Structure formats: C-alpha cells, structure tokens
Structure 1
C-alpha cells in the first residue's frame, strides 16, 4: 500500500472524530468527592506528548472533579527520575512507562494492580501486554504494540527495474537483496537488504530463532544463544552482511538511522518499524515506496519477539487510588486508545483497535504490520534493555569483522547477558 498525500487529511478527520467520541465517553461511577489533582509524568516525544495532552483533556472534560497535572522530561532524565522517585516513595500518581521497564517496578511491588485483569488478556495482544503482567495480574494499560519485525521499507521501482517482485520466501529475499545491491568499488552504494540498525539486528536475530521453532530462553530464566537455531540464525545474518554485502554493518555506529539511508535512496529494502514512516513525507518528501512483508526465515509463520511498548501505570503509593484507576479505565476504552494511537503514530496494543476499520483507514501503510500482530511473542524479562542491545550489536560487528567465530561470539554474548540478568 503506497503512502498517499490524502493520508494527513484522512488522519485529521478520524482523529477529530475519535477525540470527540473520547470526550463524550465516561467511565462508570461518579467522581471522587472534592477536587482531586493527579500528577502524571511522561518523556518528551512530539507525537506521544500531543496524544497524552489530548487524552488528559478528554478525561478532565468527562471527570470535572479530577484534574491531571501533566509533566514530561527528556528521555534520559525521565528514566533516572522515575527510578529515583519510585525508590523514594514519592513518584507521580500516574506514569507513562515503556513496557520493558515495568517488570522492575512490579518486582518491587511499586505499581497499582488494574481490576478485571482477565479481561485485559482477552482484549490485548500477548506481546504488548506481557511486560505489564506479573503472577497473572495486570499492572497498567499498554497503549502501544512496539513492533520492529515482519515488515520492510521497499522501493517498487528498484524491484521493477531489476525484473523482480517482492519476495515471498527467505531464499527469494536473499536472492533479491544480492541482485539489488549496487557496489561502488569496495563500498556499498545501494544496500539490497539493510537490517544493520541498532534495533533491527537484535529483533531479526530473535525472530529467526523463533521461526525455526526454537527459543532464546532456557528453563532457568537465562538467555540461550548456544542452540542450533541461534547459531544458524546468526550465521545467516553474518553471511548477508560480511559475505554478500547486502548491508553495511560499519554504518551501525553512524549518527543516521537505517531509515534515513533508505529515504535518501541508498537502500532497496530496509527492515525498520512503522514509526519511521512519517519521516518519508515530513523530512524527505518521499512518496513512491511501500511497506512490504518480510518473509519468514522458514516455512513456519513469521513469529517474532516484541517488547511491550508505551503504556500508563499507576503508583501503588498514590493517595488517590480511585481516581487513578478511573484514568486507567478511561485510557483502556477502545475509542480513547484509538485516539492516542492515531496522534502518536503507534501500532495499537488493543485487538479491537488494531482490527477495527478506523485505524487502517487513517494509516493505510500499517496494513502489513497489522497482519502479523498475532505472531508476536513477548520478548521476556530482559532486564537492562540497552545493555542487551549493546552486547548483541557489538558481538555482531566482531563476527562480521572475523574477530571471533559465530559460535564463540554467541557463547561470550550469552555469558555477558546472563551476568546482567543475575545482577538485576
């Protein structure tokens, strides 16, 4: 599905309709007696900030006795501020958290349990809900399905000029990537299949393990990267980058994102999450591209690992428990979640929102990622996410540079990550 100029018009219309609906919606029951002010924290992000502000306004309009003081902070500052405030028992009443962080807070009994948790298990996809679960109970409302797998940016004209169609199997993808790669001496001028971004290396590796029917967790809660499935997956990735040169692993340390290289015309296929799509129009004025499926590594379905994305949690130490639960209930209502997803350009965590007609009408290029949401699995309690990603990326580069074998590199990688997990 191509990105149309009418996208912004359709989005604006549906957004207005969604917010109107949200404003007229009301959670069950009355409001707390007297005027209550809740403090809510989030991080600075243009789309999410605007989505939060509109959702807060809609809630306040339908709950006149509750005011929400919304505050946001730069990302790095926010991560540290959250940890410090919750540790000192003076955190905000409500906080926007990335799902990967949530287990560390539930482990220390710092978050408010959401009533009707069993219903959430039916209403939300497994992958985004996973981070908000502990012992079968739900702590917070996931709003985003953080998906980096299953889809790729692709230039149809490059395929047409090469006499190719979009690949339907992994072998076809590899063949197309090799044919579409353009070299300039020893340098790659156009990458055939660019998967060497900070996120994509990790997510492609994990998905290829799962698509073989394997797992990267062992029975003791440790990472297992010495399995035949892990070795085969990493060997394939190294071969693509080092031997076939369809991607440039040296660019992983550059400032530009892999999507930037794509929109500059320096890649035929690029694995990246749908959140990069708006940059095509806003930054690069690129229209003639597609968001196409990435075939499974095997004949099995295209399973993939996914972190739980952004969502809202309540502080267990809040003095206004009833009001906090009202807000969590409000944001979980499909019409309000839809409004948030449309403004923030995020994939819905809620099944009825993702599968409903309004979202796909507003975001037609989301058709491919929406079609694979059912195959997503919660990535698991990975602890320090940044540490794990850094280690995987560093190990991948060492393998591509022949500084270590795949088997030895994965063994070292597994040891380092498990030490981190044991120290959490």
Structure 2
C-alpha cells in the first residue's frame, strides 16, 4: 500500500468518528464564510510526503492565479496521525472543506452522509478505471475523485544481468517459468538465502498476490452479506502455491518480513533477483539507490487467462458536506482532476494515473518508460471490494501465512482462520 512512496507506516487505530482520544477540535474552513470583500477561503488537508505536497502546492498556485477571489489554506499532517485527525475533525463538525482521502477510508464517511456527491457522477466515473473508483463509490454515486491508481501487483522488478547469468535472456512468461527461474536464481550459503530468486513477501503483496491468483482462476473471494469466502478450491490452490514458494521451493523467506526496509530496498541492494512490488518503488531505485540497470516487467498469470488482479483505491480528494463553500471546493477538486493538471500531479508524484485519458496518452507513456508494464494492465484491475478494516484484513492473511509457511497450520486451517476473523470484523463494522 503506497502511502508515502516507499515508506510503510502502521496506522494508529481509532474508532471511526469517535472524538475521544483522537485529538481536540481542529481549525478548518467549513465554518468560515466568505470575507466581506467576497473572498472565498478554502481549507485543504493532505498527508505529508514531499512529492505529493510539492505537486499540490504547484496546482494550488495555478488555481489561485486564475481564481483571485479564492484563497486556499493548505495544511499537511504526518501520515501516521492524518487519518486520526480527519476522523476527529468530522466528529467535531469542523472538517476541512477539501480533504485528501485514501480510497479505503472513504466508505465510512460517505455512508454517514459526510461527503458531497460529485455532480454528474454517472458520467464522471466513465473517465476512470474501475479499480481506483471502487472506494469512492456508494450506491452507484461518486463521493470523491481518485488521483491515482494504487497498484501493487501486475509488475515486478528484475535484475536482467542476474537472469542472463543463469541463461535467461527474457523474463518468465508463464507461472511455471517464474517458479523455475526463481529456483535457479536463488543463491544460498548453507541454509541461508543470500539472493532471493523471487521475493513477494511484503506486508501488502502477500495479500494482493493471494487475491489475484484467485481472480486469475476465474473465481471470486467474496461471498454473501459482505463476507469473504476462502473455502474454495481456487483459494486453496492460490494459497498453496504461495506457501510452496517459501516452504518447498525456498526461493524467498520471512527473514526481512516486517523489517524497516521494504522488499524493494533489498532488491536495489542486490539481495533479490526478482521482486513483486508496485511501480512506486521504481523511484527508490533511481533516486535513493542510483540504480539504473534494472527493469520493471509483467508478472505472468497463474493460469492461461489474463493476469487480472485485485487493487484498492488510492489517494483522492473529497469535499466535506459541512463545508459552507461546497461549490468552490468542488470546483477546486475538479480543476485538479482536469487532464493537464492531473497528469502533472501524476508525473511529479510518480503515481499511476486513475484517469484513462492520461494513462492512454502516448506522450505520458513515452515520458514514463518504467511505467509501461503497469499502464498496460490497468484495465485488468478489479477493486478489492468492501473491506471494512483494511489493516485487520491484511494482518489476518499475513499472520496466518507465516503459520502456514512454518508448518504450524496447513493451508485449509489457515484459510479457515483468515475467513472467520475477517468475517467477524466485517460484521462488527456493519
């Protein structure tokens, strides 16, 4: 989950919309009328990440140049307190006029009638891919505009020279080839893996890969009443394949799982030959590690069917229902979402476009060669679905995956644990 480029942070849990323990009332523009001279003041909040903040500042300045009657007060917060801050502000009835949301958060707000519906949402949503829209939709209405396609699957980092040393001139084109390559690319010293052949063991990718392998078999992981269903042959086959990569094929391990460094960091340090990770990691290699001799290539499908994948809605903008400047606030987020402006935001933040006309623009594609793989598979993404508690959902998959890999649980028992825990959580959030 790309919250702040290559930085993953565990979010402080706070009861939705409960003011107690979530900080005091916040300063916002929702109760601030236009000044006597007709100037409109909008308060806009986002999380802190250098690329994203700088991209917003450029567009704010551009908007104010053409809208001299509008002043935008832009405030940013560290990610690990931002979601909590949003909840407290809405609970205290003092939200910002405009807020940046991660798509997974939006349903809790839209179902409580706290966000403004996007005008003409039936037509507006046609401009976007399905996966990034999912979290912003409710009852077929749109309650925000996604800025990015939060894609963790579909592509992987490879070291071409490592493949060539084993006689592989091309990336793997089938799942069986992927496993074969991974086994031959793995370098060991005794029982210790020095170079992982294929690393997918990250907080997000275990879950996303598991769900995607189910989809690639033509199955679903959702049952009735908002419950997941992992008691299927497809779910068992998907999880068995992932467990085998660690427990039997031994092409990766759990030694770095949950550590301070991301799997992409280990890749750029030369500790893995192929790493399944989202395209946002590319910037880490180029900017932090100054590595250029790598490629970002497609991950083969688990089956003969196209490599469909599960994805969640990423960062986007929404307007608070309590804002007294709804019209101006909506105009601003619509301005951000215009092609030229949003394309600049995607370019500056190195994010994958949620809007079709940008992703399919030859000029954008040619200026972002590393994104070629991700841009090609965007139509294959499917929204992950109505996950009530994102962190809890992923934790159940990850925790039980570790137990299955270590032999403490078999696949059937592990999946049963995951299903029960997630469904109990889904029921609690109804």
Common topology (TM > 0.5): yes
Aligned to 2:135: 131
Q: 2:369 aligns with which of 358, 364, 368?
A: 364
SS at match of 2:193: strand
Aligned to 2:403: 398
Once the two structures are overlaid, the 10-residue window that deviates more, 343-352 or 245-254, is 245-254
Q: For structure 2, which runs of at least 5 residues remain unmatched after alignment?
A: 1-35
Say whether residues 1:279 and 2:284 are aligned partners: yes
Distance of 1:104 and 1:334 partners within structure 2: 29
Say whether residues 1:186 and 2:191 are aligned partners: yes
**Where in structure 1 do 4 or more consecutive aligned residues deviate above 4 Å?**
none
Cα drift, residue 149 of structure 1: 0.7
Distance of 1:121 and 1:66 partners within structure 2: 27
Equivalence map 1:10-409=2 (5 Å): 34-164=38-168, 165-409=170-414
Verify the 8 A CA contact 1:235 1:406 in the aligned structure 2: yes
Distance of 1:285 and 1:217 partners within structure 2: 42
After superposition, give the CA deviation of every residue in 1:218-248 in whole Å (9 maximum; x if it has no partner). 1221011111111110000000011111111
SS at match of 2:204: helix
SS at match of 2:74: strand
Aligned to 1:5: none
The structure with more helix, counted as a fraction of residues: 1
Q: Bigger relative contact order, structure 1 or 2, given CA contacts below 8 A and separation 6+?
A: 1
Verify the 8 A CA contact 1:353 1:359 in the aligned structure 2: yes
Two-structure CA RMSD over aligned residues (Å): 1.1
After superposition, give the CA deviation of every residue in 1:292-334 in whole Å (9 maximum; x if it has no partner). 1100000111111101010000001100011011112212211
Cα drift, residue 124 of structure 1: 0.2
Verify the 8 A CA contact 1:141 1:331 in the aligned structure 2: no
Verify the 8 A CA contact 1:33 1:65 in the aligned structure 2: no
Cα drift, residue 281 of structure 1: 2.1
Cα drift, residue 33 of structure 1: 8.0
SS at match of 1:338: helix
Aligned to 2:20: none
After superposition, give the CA deviation of every residue in 1:113-137 in whole Å (9 maximum; x if it has no partner). 0101122221000000111111111
Cα drift, residue 38 of structure 1: 0.3
Distance of 2:335 and 2:258 partners within structure 1: 42
SS at match of 2:104: coil
SS at match of 1:111: coil
**Scaled by the length of structure 2, what TM-score is found?**
0.90
Distance of 1:324 and 1:33 partners within structure 2: 19
Distance of 2:183 and 2:221 partners within structure 1: 29
After superposition, give the CA deviation of every residue in 1:196-225 in whole Å (9 maximum; x if it has no partner). 011110110010000001111012210111
SS at match of 2:330: helix
Cα drift, residue 361 of structure 1: 2.5
Cα drift, residue 253 of structure 1: 2.4
Aligned to 1:7: none
Cα drift, residue 56 of structure 1: 1.2
